[in-house]
Structure 1
Amino acid sequence: MEEVVYEFWSLVLTVDEDEVYWRQKKGDEELEWSHSSTHVISQLTQCFTNAMTGPRSWLGGLFNRMGNRRNEKYLDYTMSPIQEQRLQKLQERLQTPFDETRPDHQEALRALWHIAFPDVALKGLISEQWKDMGWQGPNPSTDFRGCGFISLENLLFFGRTYPASFRRLLFKQGGTRATWEYPFAVAGINVSFMLIQMLDLFSEKPKNLPGYNFLKLLGEDEQAFDVLYCIAFEMMDAQWLAMHASYMEFNVLLSPSLTSTDSFSHF
């Protein structure tokens, strides 16, 4: 547990480093978006300790202390206009598949490479180089089939907003690492998928407590899902270290059972 807490505070310090980076890069006047995101991070980190109590709770604990302490599995509530608008916009993103023939999707993929390896020229959108980032093969588009374009957007947001943290996870810096580590890009897609499922985001409105609590954050910050993604990815990495896991445990850590909402209803 002490190791996990250490990893968490490393996350907090890394976020601080990224905040300094952006202040130097853009200036305070362009950081209005970050203030609400910081508030979202603050709310999420209040329940960090419970999120890391075992190998099957790293993601569910994000929400097990948030919101009203009610015990209904399905909640009868009315979304605010801003929540409804932002949820609809988010759901439109969820329904966008990755299309390797679209120029904007191609550019997004190239942008991700440049963030990860700014000093290495990419030979092509289909290249063995992609395996260095943790894709399963030379064509990343095949890995997006399970989650769509939003998973690429999530990775881009992570790399652009928290570059120090992004690179630390990509290059497996910090902590006692296994000889065979988890594949970064594939893990990122899985984190996107699990969050979507856990928050019930394909429903007209979420019908479970994690989704209900997420809507509160979404009402405060339109980028709440992207910020949550970054935190969840960090927490997955921290749990990986806490488990002293190796590649053979990768599927266990990311199995669907880890996102079961049954344990999230006990407030």
Structure 2
Amino acid sequence: MFILDRILPFIFSYIRPFIKWFLHAFTRLSELQRICYGARAGASRTSQVERSLTLSKRPQIQRLVLDLDGAAPYVNNEELLEFAPRAARIVMQAKRIKHNVHPDFARLLGTCVTSIWGYRRLMHQVEQLRAEKYDSDNLDHEEKLLRLWQLLMPETPLTGRVTKQWQDIGFQGDDPKTDF
């Protein structure tokens, strides 16, 4: 099984360009167009678009992916929505896709681009929150901890900040800060 896991991707990496060339020659559509027009909307299409963009050999698309990867963690929602038209413009230029012949392509690709880099931005934000250490001197952290108690045990008042009551909601000791 180990050999198959190593050999098949290696073989696929050499066969993929020929398959792409063959399909492009007969359909007159790029891989991204075939995905956007043929794959079911949602996660299936988005993951295929992500894979295609990541494996692209075109320098403009490689640069685009690097730029979006670098910017995604730090943009707001408005800026994230600007990724879609930019990506569509660059891909259509690199692949020589005419907008008047394929008017839906930019919209379909843009939806996937927004999902891909929106998800990457979310992963970055979650990782930042996960990496933040609990600080008992931070009033915001303490308020969140007390709010957690109030939401989980609304009928039971907390007798103190350090108490065995915390074990009732799954903390291991008397002081919940030791679990973080």
Normalising by structure 2, we get a TM-score of: 0.36
Bigger Rg, structure 1 or 2: 2
Of the two structures, which has the highest relative contact order with CA contacts closer than 8 Å and spacing of 6 or more?
Answer: 1
Q: Tell me which protein shows more helix as a share of its residues.
A: 2
Normalising by structure 1, we get a TM-score of: 0.25
